[in-house]
Amino acid sequence: MSAAGELVTVVNHPLVDNSLVALRDVNTGTDTFRRHARLLTLILAFHVLEDLPTREVSVRTPLEDMRGHVIDRNVIFVPVLRAGLAMLDAMSDFVPGSKVGFVGLERDETTAIAHSYYQKLPAQLAEAEAIILDPMLATGGSALATVELLKQNRAGSIRLACVLAAPEGIGLLNERHPDVRIFTAVVDRGLNDRKFILPGLGDFGDRYFGTT
Ligand code: PRP
Ligand code: URA
């Protein structure tokens, strides 16, 4: 793992590289795309959830009693619809009892400005670690809108987990909300004139859900 900046954690690992090539490849079909999206999320989860507090518990093995540690923090995952759903199962599998809030945002195809069409958030945001799930951080407009919604609803601690991040999106989020830590598999070169990430992987939601 290496840090690209104080607030961005870039996960460097050969397994990440391997899955990124599969996701980027224009010839990768829906099933393979989904499999690698899940694998990458599992790896990201190790880093996003790395410093969660734990508490000691007792556990009985088939042979004897022992002490172990379990996560001792309320966690709320917030997938940004639709593409964020691709990360939800893999990430939440690690955290029994986690809650899920939904934020529906869609970028206008010509302006690339995200508009909100749905939101449903759990009540306990103030006492929880809120983890936004969105595989693509491009202009940062969607992430910014989600962070601001969570803060309006009294979220205390917020992290963002993504797969591909553009410098533009990282810059916007760092400037407006420097308290939000970003975790990504890679930082790409930049955006094209349609605000797609370059070299990127195209439209994540379309490729994951087979809607191309
Ligand atoms: C994609 C992606 C992010 C957003 C990133 O969603 O999943 O939410 O774009 O772009 P931004 O940083 O410029 O806001 P999209 O609007 O394509 O919707 P979808 O997930 O329903 O496909
Ligand atoms: N959303 C995507 O799915 N891909 C991009 O390149 C930018 C935003």
Name the residue of 134, 146, 173 to mutate for ligand 1: max ligand atoms within 8 A of Cβ: 134
Ligand nearest to C-alpha 115: 1
Q: What angle do CA 195, 85, 181 make, to 5 degrees?
A: 65
- The answer to whether residue 6 scores a pLDDT higher than 70 is no
Atom of ligand 1 nearest to the CA of 209: 22
Average pLDDT, the chain: 95
Query: What's the rounded Cα separation, in Å, for the pair 47 and 49?
Result: 5
Confidence of residue 108 (pLDDT cuts 50, 70, 90): confident
Atom of ligand 2 nearest to the CA of 200: 6
Which residues form ligand 1's pocket by a CB distance below 6 Å? 80-83, 105-107, 112, 114, 134-143, 169, 195, 203-205
In this prediction, residue 2 carries a pLDDT of 43
Q: What is the pLDDT of residues 40-58, one digit of tens each?
A: 999 999 999 999 999 999 9
Indicate left, alpha or beta for 190 from its phi (over 0: left) and psi (-120 to 50: alpha): left
Number of compact structural domains in the chain: 1
Structural domain range at position 192: 2-209
Query: Helices 85-92 & 30-48, crossing angle to 10 degrees?
Result: 50
| CATH number of the domain to which 118 belongs | 3.40.50.2020
Q: What is the pLDDT of residues 171-189, one digit of tens each?
A: 999 999 999 999 999 999 9
Average pLDDT for residues 124-151, to the nearest whole number? 97
In this prediction, residue 125 carries a pLDDT of 95
In this prediction, residue 70 carries a pLDDT of 96
What are the phi and psi torsion angles at 150 (to 5°)?
A: -65, -40
